[in-house]
């Protein structure tokens, strides 16, 4: 046997050899050629390349059969140096009329030409012949079965090749994204360090009880929070890289059937629910309210804080609570127009404590409320001028659920007297120790 230009695996080659031996030893074929299709990326043209020839004799085969479609290739193949052929009429078994044309025979050489087609994909040709007798219907079925086996094997091989190429592409994409992430983290460190340094210098210049000092403390606190988040993010990236990447054919990757949410970044809430503890809510709310007041003043929004000083402790995680409340407070100010108001208050019931963030803003339409906690969903706001990513509420919801709490949405909230601004209220419900 001789081999030619089409690329194929060793397993497929072995299968072709076994099928040719079957044709030769069982059915009496004296020569066989297997052509495979080759689709060019840079051209719509499809080539037929002789892949395996038995025996290695001078069959005067063309090195390529060209055409823009398989029927065109077929026509060129039957009109080429394979010799002219005529349609088998009395020996072809019954099958759809549109496939009868694929089996042809030269009565002098008893030649058969059968396409390799699977899932409506043209994969090649099986060309075989014998000289001593005609093909009967049983033999034709056997040759057809051989052609089907070759077509299925070639189809699966091409699928496997596609998956390998896709895996390589995904690996290259991951490497590119990893490099970009590393560069971004590196570039963030310098301005963040400068910001922390400047805020410390400002603290030395302000009196202990001055409003300016509290603002400088807020800047330092947020800078420390950013630094902590960056550190946790880098740690998680290293863990993901060590455990799951780089992807290779021999590694076990995340099953496609698993919930996508299970693999979202969890660095905002380190550990599992058994790492949760009792949290002093005032220690979290007071610094956030100082920052929120400064932002509200710049937008001419009235901030009302109705927070009892004897709050019970809640069951949660401090860093996650900061992220949740910061997202909800930021949204309240962002979506409230000038001269509006934002109110932060507390409600208790049974063994639960509710942190209420209410505003007199644009509200959330009923049709959007069902999807408002989905990642990247912004509803009608997506068409507005207020920038956003649609991630804040999704992150807040996920973190609250991990702390065994819940978020309640009320819109309109009936706080605003202006029907154009129906307002929105979010209530974060958490377990508390004592009321």
Short-list 263, 268, 349, 259, CA closest to 316: 268
- The predicted pLDDT at position 303 comes to 95
Other CB atoms closer than 10 Å to residue 6's CB: what's the count? 19
- Long-range Cβ pairs for the range 239-243 (8 Å, 24+): 241/178
Cα–Cα separations (whole angstroms), residue 268 to 14, 228, 264, 397, 429: 54, 10, 11, 13, 19
- E strand residue ranges, 215-371: 277-279, 302-306, 314-316, 341-349, 352-359
Residue partners of 2: CB distance under 8 A and separation at least 6: 52, 53, 56
Question: Of residues 178 and 286, which shows the higher confidence score?
Answer: 286
Helices and strands, number each (H, E), in the chain:
9, 15
Report whether pLDDT(63) > 60. Answer: no
Report whether pLDDT(207) > 50. Answer: yes
- The predicted pLDDT at position 305 comes to 94
Residue 241's pLDDT band (cuts 50, 70, 90): low
| Percent of the residues in the chain that have a pLDDT greater than 90, as a whole number | 34
- The predicted pLDDT at position 72 comes to 57
Average pLDDT over residues 235-255: 52
Other CB atoms closer than 10 Å to residue 98's CB: what's the count? 7
If you ran DSSP here, which 8-state letter would residue 256 be given? T
Cα–Cα separations (whole angstroms), residue 371 to 173, 326, 378, 387: 30, 21, 9, 18
| Percent of the residues in the chain that have a pLDDT greater than 70, as a whole number | 76
Residue 73's pLDDT band (cuts 50, 70, 90): low
Report whether pLDDT(286) > 70. Answer: yes
Report whether pLDDT(34) > 50. Answer: yes
Residue 423's pLDDT band (cuts 50, 70, 90): very high
Question: Of residues 215 and 18, which shows the higher confidence score?
Answer: 18
- The predicted pLDDT at position 291 comes to 85
Given the DSSP bridges, would you call strands 341-349 and 302-306 parallel, antiparallel or unpaired? parallel
* 100-109, 217-226, 365-374, 399-408: range with lowest mean pLDDT: 100-109
Report whether pLDDT(236) > 70. Answer: yes
- The predicted pLDDT at position 41 comes to 59
CB 227 within 8 A of CB 196: yes
* 82-96, 231-245, 379-393: range with lowest mean pLDDT: 82-96
Report whether pLDDT(35) > 70. Answer: yes
Cα–Cα separations (whole angstroms), residue 230 to 150, 166, 427: 54, 31, 29
Cα–Cα separations (whole angstroms), residue 323 to 122, 299, 388: 56, 22, 16
- The predicted pLDDT at position 82 comes to 42
**HSE-up of residue 57 (Cα within 13 Å, Cβ side):** 7
Average pLDDT over residues 403-425: 90
Write the pLDDT tens digit of every residue in 368-383: 999 999 988 888 888 7
- The predicted pLDDT at position 258 comes to 40
Average pLDDT over residues 130-150: 90
Task: Report helix, strand or coil for 181.
Answer: helix
Short-list 49, 42, 43, 50, CA closest to 68: 43
- The predicted pLDDT at position 20 comes to 94
Q: pLDDT averaged over the chain?
A: 78
CB 210 within 8 A of CB 266: no
- The predicted pLDDT at position 434 comes to 65
CB 309 within 8 A of CB 272: no
Report whether pLDDT(355) > 90. Answer: yes
Q: If 0-12 CB within 10 Å is exposed, 13-18 middle and 19+ buried, where does residue 201 land?
A: exposed
| DSSP of 396-432 | HHHHHHHTT-EEEEESS-S--S-TT---EEEEEEEEB
Cα–Cα dist 237/242, whole Å? 9
Cis peptide before 67 (omega within 30 of 0): no
Kindly list the structural domains of the chain, giving each domain's residue range(s) and its CATH number in brackets, ordered by start. 2-165 (3.30.450.40), 272-435 (3.30.565.10)
Residue 87's pLDDT band (cuts 50, 70, 90): very low
Write the pLDDT tens digit of every residue in 169-200: 998 888 888 888 777 777 777 788 888 888 88
- The predicted pLDDT at position 25 comes to 93
Report whether pLDDT(115) > 50. Answer: yes
Report whether pLDDT(78) > 60. Answer: no
Cα–Cα dist 2/22, whole Å? 17
- Rounded CA Rg of the chain: 36
CB 396 within 8 A of CB 327: yes
Report whether pLDDT(89) > 90. Answer: no
CB 403 within 8 A of CB 273: yes
Report whether pLDDT(264) > 50. Answer: no
């Amino acid at each position: 046997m001789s081999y030619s230009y089409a690329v194929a695996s060793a397993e497929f080659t072995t299968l072709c050899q076994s099928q040719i031996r079957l044709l030769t030893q069982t059915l009496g074929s004296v020569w066989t050629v297997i052509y495979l299709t080759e689709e060019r990326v840079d051209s719509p043209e499809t080539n037929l390349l002789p892949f395996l020839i038995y025996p290695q004799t001078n069959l005067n085969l063309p090195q390529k059969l060209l055409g823009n479609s398989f029927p065109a290739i077929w026509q060129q193949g039957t009109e080429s140096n394979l010799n002219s052929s005529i349609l088998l009429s009395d020996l072809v078994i019954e099958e759809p009329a549109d496939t009868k044309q694929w089996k042809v025979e030269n009565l002098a050489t008893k030649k058969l030409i059968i396409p390799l087609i699977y899932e409506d994909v043209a994969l090649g040709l099986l060309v075989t012949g014998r000289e001593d007798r005609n093909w009967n219907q049983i033999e034709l079925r056997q040759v057809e079965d051989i052609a089907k086996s070759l077509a299925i094997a070639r189809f699966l091989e091409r699928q496997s090749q596609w998956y390998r190429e896709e895996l390589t592409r995904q690996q290259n994409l991951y490497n590119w994204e990893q490099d970009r992430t590393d560069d971004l983290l590196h570039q963030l460190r310098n301005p963040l360090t400068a910001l922390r340094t400047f805020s410390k210098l400002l603290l030395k210049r302000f009196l202990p009880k001055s409003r300016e000092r509290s603002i400088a403390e807020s800047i330092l606190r947020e800078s420390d929070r950013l630094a902590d988040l960056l550190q946790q993010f880098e740690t998680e990236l290293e863990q993901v890289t060590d455990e799951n990447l780089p992807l290779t054919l021999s590694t076990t990757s995340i099953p496609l059937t698993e919930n996508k949410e299970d693999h979202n970044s969890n660095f905002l809430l380190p550990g599992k629910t058994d790492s949760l503890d009792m949290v002093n809510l005032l220690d979290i709310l007071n610094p956030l309210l100082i920052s929120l007041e400064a932002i509200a003043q710049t937008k001419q929004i009235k901030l009302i804080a109705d927070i009892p000083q004897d709050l019970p402790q809640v069951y949660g995680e401090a860093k996650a609570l900061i992220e949740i409340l910061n997202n909800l407070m930021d949204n309240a100010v962002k979506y409230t127009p000038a001269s509006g108001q934002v109110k932060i208050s507390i409600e208790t019931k049974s063994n639960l404590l509710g942190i209420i963030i209410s505003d007199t803003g644009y509200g959330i339409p009923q049709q959007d409320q069902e999807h408002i906690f989905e990642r990247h969903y912004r509803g009608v706001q997506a068409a507005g001028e207020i920038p956003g990513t649609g991630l804040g509420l999704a992150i807040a919801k996920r973190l609250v659920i991990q702390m065994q709490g819940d978020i309640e949405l009320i819109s309109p909230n009936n706080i605003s007297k202006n029907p154009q601004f129906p307002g929105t209220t979010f209530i974060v419900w958490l377990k508390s120790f004592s009321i």
